[in-house]
Amino acid sequence: MTAMGATLVEKIIARAAGVDRVTPGDIVTCRVDLAMMHDSGGPRRVQPLLERLGRGIWDPERVVVISDHYVPAVDAESAAILDGTRKWVARHGVRHFHDMQGICHVVLPERGHLRPGMFVVGGDSHSPTGGAFGCFMFGIGATDMAGVLITGETWVTVPDTIRLDWDGALPAGVCAKDMMLHLCARLGMGGAAQQVVQYGGNTVDALPMQERMTLSNMAAELGAQCGLIEADETTVDYIRSAGGDPGDPVAWRGDDDAAVMARHRFDASTLAPQVAAPHSPANAGDVAVHEGTPVHQAYIGACTGAKLEDLRMAAAVLSGQRVAKGTRLLLAPASTRTTLAAAQDGTLATLIEAGAILMPSGCGACAGYGAGVLTEDEVCISSTARNFRGRMGAASSQVFLASPYTVAASAVTGRITDPRGFLEPGAGV
């Protein structure tokens, strides 16, 4: 027995590698519990590699394919990509196929595919989202994925863990997205390059599952391989309601005496709404810095910023309000189930009454793929995760990142606006 305990990620990797324990820096080969792909980086990229080796996939039950990038098709090329994806899953006997049902990082847990302690690879850079369920889930490219599909295994460098502990109650109008933009500014986009981050503290304990997913999702913007959160009752309840099996969540917690690379502490109670200026999430600061900047487009979309919780935040601001003349508010719910739930609880009606334009569920404008892209010099405030130059359209367009609250408030005034004035009792302009 060793004196020092193991972190959560070390426990998951050791189990997947079939060894008693691993140490950061070790390169080990792991069995993969689940592999997720989407239409852009998935079948069309891996199939030529499978053909070159004359191989099929190791276990179709452990593969999930989700078409979310080129949906719905906007031209012959994207239609062909979606068609090819459908034919590929049929050919390989992949049962877990979600076609145009929403964005992979939201659909995967929504359909009960994740369980604490799993070793999961995803063919997309926001795969760290799975960490919210106590899984070690990380993004890989197509060649890596082909190797997984053929062998069921992959190599991994055991990462160090950086703890990010938040305590205190978030003020009204401040949410997980603000926490993440603040972390991007504090730690930088390489703040956790090639490490994993693990979120904890009583602020995180109190967050609903979808808000935790926002934290894990944007671990990608810290450069982290995964954004882990230990499973608790909130996790178990979510997995059960999604029809999944939570397994043994107690077994998948890090040891208290495990060595971590760094531990940073933050006070949620003093956090103001955050806005990240072009062209990096790390250009974040208090909303006051950018207040008054005119915006052409307000976008509520993506895996980061259009889950049901996100839509409810926007609705809290937009209730009884109207989008400003000269500004458009585009709304692309993260999944079809999000749209359904928002329709059932009245959230969707509130948003549409305020002037939001409802768009299909998919990656869409966030990655410059679908409808809602920007032309030269246009300014957008967006609930998405990235504002790299030219990502959402023309190279001269400007994207500011913010929470759904702040995006909604800015849509009402046509300028970047602190949402807190809309949320106070008796608020109303």
**DSSP labels, 12-81:** HHHHHHTSS---TT-EEEEE-SEEEEETTTSHHHHHHHHHHHT---S-GGGEEEEE-SS-S--SHHHHHH
CB of 118 to other proteins, least distance (A): 19
**Which residues, in sequence order, are CB contacts of 254 under 8 Å at separation 6+?**
5, 6, 7, 8, 9, 10, 11, 161, 198, 230
Per CB under 8 A, the list member of 168, 368, 414, 421 interacting with other proteins is 368
| Residue 5 binds other proteins, judged by CB under 8 A | no
* β strands within 128-237, DSSP E: 136-139, 153-157, 161-167, 196-200, 226-228
Q: What is the Cα–Cα distance from 186 to 171, expressed in whole angstroms?
A: 20
CB of 395 to other proteins, least distance (A): 7
CB nearer other proteins, residue 42 or residue 254: 42
CB of 262 to other proteins, least distance (A): 15
Cβ atoms 386, 395 nearer than 8 A: no
Per CB under 8 A, the list member of 39, 68, 124, 309 interacting with other proteins is 124
CB of 125 to other proteins, least distance (A): 4
Binders of other proteins among residues 379 to 398 (CB under 8 A) are 386, 388-391, 395
CB nearer other proteins, residue 169 or residue 395: 395
| Residue 138 binds other proteins, judged by CB under 8 A | yes
Per CB under 8 A, the list member of 47, 67, 127, 397 interacting with other proteins is 127
CB nearer other proteins, residue 132 or residue 367: 367
Quick note: the x/- pattern for other proteins over 81-120, rule CB under 8 A, is: x---------------------------------------
Per CB under 8 A, the list member of 78, 234, 384, 403 interacting with other proteins is 78
For the beta carbon of residue 354, count every other beta carbon within 10 angstroms. 21
| Residue 325 binds other proteins, judged by CB under 8 A | no
Q: Which backbone phi and psi does 35 adopt, to 5 degrees?
A: -125, 125
Q: What is the Cα–Cα distance from 315 to 319, expressed in whole angstroms?
A: 6
Query: In the complex, which residues of this chain contact other proteins (CB under 8 A)?
Result: 17-19, 27, 29, 40-41, 45, 49, 52-53, 77-78, 81, 123-125, 127, 138-144, 146-147, 150-151, 153, 155, 189-190, 193-194, 223-225, 280, 367-369, 386, 388-391, 395
